[in-house]
Structure 1
Amino acid sequence: MKTIRFVWEHWFYLLLALGAMAAWQLSLMPEAIADPITMERVFLIDFALLLPVIYFLYLRSRTTLKAALLRSFAIGAAGVAYAAWLMPEGAGDILPFLAWLRWTALPLVIFIELAAFVAVMRYVWSSDPQEEELIRQGMPPILVKLLIAEARFWKRVFRFVTGRRD
């Protein structure tokens, strides 16, 4: 029963994994390799249009409008990068034109992810992290539990290695 409830609450991530695997399989088909323009259009419709819209609909009831829009835009950009990775080198009309965006946006994405990671780690490593606070911020409950459990583990290891008992 818990498994069904978990899948029901997080259906988008299952759909995302299936879509990514299907796109990868499509990119390996001889028909797709023979006609890269059609493959590019399919990838752009799937990853630049449908994926962000579906993700926005999934997030809309869970987060604020601003957060849902930002996350949907980010997953659309990641989808375009994935589509460009799946395409044969230099094939297509639009994706080669957008290749410069990947290298421009990459440092920005890394900085944002690093800042978010540091903020979460500071909170999790604090004296008394509250699971409910992170869940209210939009993190999946299973991820919150794993982060807090890992932080507690590393705190204990650090205390054991340094000899602290506080």
Structure 2
Amino acid sequence: MAIRVQAEDFDVGAELAALSDGNPSIGGVASFVGLVRDMAKGDGAGGDAVSAMTLEHYPGMTERQLAAIEAEARARWPLDGVLIIHRYGRLLAGDRIVLAACASAHRAAAFEACWFLMDWLKTKAPFWKQEETPAGARWVAAKEEDDQAAERWYKRAP
């Protein structure tokens, strides 16, 4: 199990290499890196410019929830490794926020599990986001589209 909640940036290449090093049964690693966008998602074609985002979390609860999400992924797919790194604090546009990675003997399990991790991280992980825009700071509300994406995993049997 590799779960980290941290303020510091991370080296994607080094993290992915460490996830699979020394395990010749791994056939593939699927990963997702989330970044701070320079535009807030708005209705329609655009949104407000975003210069930074501050992420807050509840220490202890956050790590427990990430561990539960990882355990659910391991129960559903044959995984040889799982990595979740999520940052908190003030991040600038273009900064890395999250790395989710899954290693497995087969690509389908790695891809599906990684997609599952991100859908559940977006809806179940206790992080709160505040965007900085020219109009001022504002909290980011939960999005129905994220809930709909996570919903599909309830319909699939492990």
- Larger-gyration structure (1/2): 1
Greater per-residue strand proportion: 2
One fold, TM greater than 0.5? no
Give the TM-score normalised by the residue count of structure 1: 0.31
Q: Which has the higher contact order (CA 8 A, sep 6+)?
A: 2
Greater per-residue helix proportion: 1
